[in-house]
Structure 1
Amino acid sequence: MENLVIYIISDSLGETGEQVAKASIGQFNLKNYEIRKYPYVLDKQFLDEILNDAKFQNSIIVYTLVDLELANRTSKFCEENNIPGLDLINPLIDSIRSRTNLSPLREPGIIRKLDEKYFKRVEAIEFAVKYDDGKDSRGLVKSDLVLVGISRTSKTPLSMYLANKNIKVANVPLVPEVPVPKELFEIPNKKIIGLTNTPEKLNQIRQERLKALGLSGNANYANMQRILEEIEYAETIMKKLGCPIIDVSNKAIEETAGLIINIMKENGLRVYKGFLNS
């Protein structure tokens, strides 16, 4: 049997067409075949070269071209040369348009861009988890932002919230008995934001935390004198760092995150616009 050649023609990576071709081939006990993938086909000249090559093969053409001129050119070529052609994207685009009365963007590679956005967010979330609560001080140098503060000042939830905005955040707890990591003084202070809370609010939150853990509310963790000492210690460190300080006592996570993003912009730090409304 003559070798079957499946041409994958795409204005992006061509992965969709390739996966469909492989899934279909898997339904046959087919030994003599070849998949030729042509990504980033964005002009007529390149397209015509591929099509003319396919004309002299035992070929099938699978294409994902959102440019209608290129898609129609491919369809016409297949029809004129009696080559099976499969448009994987435009029939569905047309169906969505008819059901929604919306106009398609016709932007090549948009799926890949969406995928990149997703994976960058995942990367930022994994970063926040890895460098949460001072687990590894080496992450401070790699971060876009470092949050510092005593326990129960919303460091972790803020880190995760900002990670969903594609900001790589590390956070460091400030505890009088634990030395501050040296890396904190080696990074630009514009990358650091201090978080604080009122003694009364901290006392309330910590007592509730102890109750949730089944512990006595009289523990030193929730002792007012201890809280005052921690706040004083944290403020001393933050002043040495020269970083802005945000009082989170009466703010929702979203509000504090908004303030942080504004500070980052004012300090000339990179903020990923495409993620701020996601």
Structure 2
Amino acid sequence: MLSTGALRAHLLSARLAGTVATTREASLRSYRLFAARDPRVLLGLDPGRAWSERDLLRLMAERCGVSDDPGQVAGLDVIDPERTLAGLDAFAGRLADAARRRSPVLFGTGHPHRLLGFYAGLADALSAAGCAVLTHAQGRCVDITTRFGVRTHSVHYVRGVAMMREPGVRAPGGATGAHTHSPLPVRVVLEAAVEAGGVLPELVVGDHGWVCGAGQLGIEAIGLADTDDPALFVGEAEGVVSVAVPLDDAVPSEHYRPLARYVLDRARLSP
């Protein structure tokens, strides 16, 4: 088993926590946009109350460990590794509950180049524990607003994890899959499940719009989030998201493997 101390050291050395690559400027910009209810940062969440920039800074300091000083407007953000560890423990607890109940689970990521392997390992373990890992809407098209305008993407599953692909686009290194914050994919997948008369997930695991979009629809959702993604932490504070784990969500994919191992150990699931 991977000890808490060993994982803490890994979080710091891989810059998943501690001083991370996310800039203070990027985080503060996200808080401003969230306070203005910009859909690009709401990620499908419909907050139950008004959140000011100051409210969000306090919340993110509490949930992630970033500085709560509004005068600090530059530099790199900081994530408290103890908060990451606590989040991973809670995350593992939800997975253990799902395994015990043999709940149907949906996995989806807006960070396929970084987090696919992390989620795929969890999907394999839950499947082995008797959970149905859902794969509705394979190949279905979704129009998503991007910085380049509205682009058509399609739903694809790799090892039980949903992601979006843009036809004809391949990322450097041959990786396929689009980075997206949109909640539209999870809505399309759930709609397809209803149309097919199939099973709906009792738990959604992922990030970005997959988590907030599902949570807003009343489905239990857990996920990972960086300091410039306040929506998951607001959702957690309002009871819409069950668990939001603070960490840098854009480090090289191999650095998330120890996290998967730790979570599966804590959930008592086979890798």
TM-score of the aligned structures, taking structure 1 as reference length: 0.25
Larger radius of gyration: 1
By percentage of residues, which structure has more helix?
1
Whose RCO is larger (CA < 8 A, sep 6+)?
2
